Structure 1
């Protein structure tokens, strides 16, 4: 398989974030497969909150839009809070997914998207359902059916997952790369359509 551009976006603002650790692990696994993968950390970039106005003047918006547009697939790493993905994920997608005045076109069309989640408990493993549905319906994204959902119980110690959960993360990244490679040759391009 040819090398792919598979960035990982860390969407936690927590300085001690486990999802940031998972983002680094995911990027390393993709690089080990021969792909280009870097971690883009929203905690370092300070993307303005989505206001459908001045956010588009931010150089951070432009950088993130460019990263997503150029990607063959995108890994979103984020915490699960209150039975839902962190608000930073939604704000990122709202900004980089906006199409409208001044020729803006969403960056997300036709992307393969994989979720890597850090959670306190194992109970909210379906919390990504609405986010996945939105990306599929709005942007015709292909959502990797292998989500890496890791709770506090899945860590042996800081930065070390239990063996079975490390294997799940590795499989999730393998599927992400394979789907991205297979769909890189797609013959269609999506736009806003119902």
Structure 2
């Protein structure tokens, strides 16, 4: 079977972001497994605020929409702030998930994996609302092996051995789900 397109989108604006390092490692793992994977760093992309109007004229939004639409699966790497995914993730979803006026969301039927960096281990369920939205709105399949890492999971600049194994497994499951669903016979659209 040919390789999958599995981009990793880094959704942190922090110059010293741990979630960006996790994104880079995720893309390396997927590439080593034989898939097409690259990190798209939203800190380097001009993602305008969502206004449901001129945002769609942005070349960067059009490029992100095409990247997501053409992907077999997407890894979203982001920090957890105040018990929730960073606002950059929501901005990305709003800009590329809007429908109406001839627009079709890019996210339909995608396999999604979350890779999160947080301060404390207590907010590991912070992705629940995001998962629910992706599943119900866009019929995404959300990898149950979310990769959640708190400050306690790092030895200096690297993940501890046990936690690195979790990221490895999350990427393996991500690729396997995308492979299995590549031959799906259905196509979703905005429906309840």
Normalised-by-shorter TM-score class: over 0.9
Matches within 5 A, 1:29-44: 29-44=29-44
Runs of 4+ off more than 4 Å: none
TM-score scaled by length of structure 1: 0.98
TM-score scaled by length of structure 2: 0.99
Separation in 2 of the partners of 1:138 and 1:95? 14
Unaligned runs of 5+ in 1: none
**Over aligned residue pairs, what C-alpha RMSD do you find?**
0.6
Separation in 1 of the partners of 2:189 and 2:45? 28
Please, which of 177, 184, 187 is the counterpart of residue 185 of structure 2? 187
Deviations 1:27-64 (A, max 9, x none): 00000100000000000002001111111000000000
Matched, 1:133 2:132: yes
Separation in 1 of the partners of 2:80 and 2:2? 33
Aligned to 2:104: 105
SS in 2 for 1:14: coil
Aligned to 1:153: 152
Matches within 5 A, 1:64-79: 64-79=64-79
Separation in 1 of the partners of 2:66 and 2:150? 32
Unaligned runs of 5+ in 2: none
- State the aligned residue count: 192
The Cα of 1:2 is off from its aligned counterpart by 2.9
SS in 2 for 1:113: strand
